[in-house]
Amino acid sequence: MSWKTNVPLIAILRGITQQEVDEHVSILIASGFDAIEIPLNSPEWEVSIKGMVDKFGSRALIGAGTVLNVANVERLAAMGCKMIVTPNTNPAVIRRSVELGMTVCAGCATATEAFTALDAGAQALKIFPSSAFGPEYVKALKAVLPADVPVFAVGGVTPENLHLYMSAGCIGAGLGGDLYKAGQSPERTRQQAEFFIKAYKEVKQ
């Protein structure tokens, strides 16, 4: 399996509004991000996701997070959404997303959930919440997974600890509150994006 972005860091913009999403996504893409997740518990997510797909869909993998049911999968596909990220392991959501041609990063915490997600067709896994398990747990879980499965650490990943999760076998990470908190300034987003990109590049050197 392969991940479809140049930089395997997923920017999670939980709580972002349609009025500010354009500026923050522009900053993230300019900083080097090419995977953007707008969770469905954000205000007016349909407007934000559709707008970002239309404007940036050729430059980044624009997707949705906290996707919990098949009805939303179908709504997202109709908008041109290309990435589905789930907090849990729901085979029906995964299968329908794959059928509709979307990349799925499925949330899981155990080996059973991980293999259930892979059996349903998920192309990538997110270990969530990673901070509750730690890099050693991720390393142990990765040892039993197929070597070519992209694994992301999500939950509590910072520029300072990113290298620990990547050393444990993660291809990258999903970045939430340490990258973007609802209502923060564009300058804060730029600063944190640069910190994360720098941290990623240092690991890859």
147: left (phi over 0), alpha (psi -120 to 50) or beta: alpha
Decide if 59 is inside a domain: yes
Q: What is the pLDDT of residues 153-172, one digit of tens each?
A: 999 999 999 999 999 999 99
Full-prediction pTM beyond 0.75?
Answer: yes
State the catalytic residue, choosing from 113, 126, 201, 204. Answer: 126
Q: Is residue 80 situated within a structural domain?
A: yes
Q: Is residue 2 part of a domain?
A: no
Q: In this structure, is residue 166 part of a structural domain?
A: yes
CATH code (residue 131): 3.20.20.70
Of 37, 50, 82, 142, which is the active-site residue?
A: 37
Assess whether 74 carries a catalytic annotation. Answer: no
* Residue 190 token pair: 């730029």
Q: How far is CA 15 from CA 126, 144, 152, 182, 183, in A?
A: 20, 35, 21, 5, 8
Q: Is residue 3 part of a domain?
A: no
**Contact between residue 76 and residue 40 where contact means Cβ atoms under 8 Å apart:** no
Model pLDDT for residues 26-81, shown as the tens digit of each residue: 999 999 999 999 999 999 999 999 999 999 999 999 999 999 999 999 999 999 99
Indicate whether 150 belongs to any domain: yes
In a domain, 70, yes or no: yes
Q: For residue 199, how far is the Cα from the chain centroid?
A: 17
Number of H helices, E strands in the chain: 9, 8
Domain that holds residue 139: 9-204
Rounded Cα distance, 88 and 114, in Å? 10
Evaluate whether 173 touches 157 at the Cβ level (below 8 Å): yes
| Residue 146, token pair as written in the block | 């197929």
- The answer to whether residue 1 sits within a structural domain is no
How many distinct structural domains can be found in the chain? Answer: 1
Q: Say how far apart CA 53 and CA 61 lie, in whole Å.
A: 8
Name the 3-class secondary structure at 199: helix
Reply yes or no on whether 194 is catalytic: no
pLDDT tens-digit readout, 88-138? 999 999 999 999 999 999 999 999 999 999 999 999 999 999 999 999 999
Question: Which one, of 112, 105, 109, lies nearest residue 35 by Cα?
Answer: 105
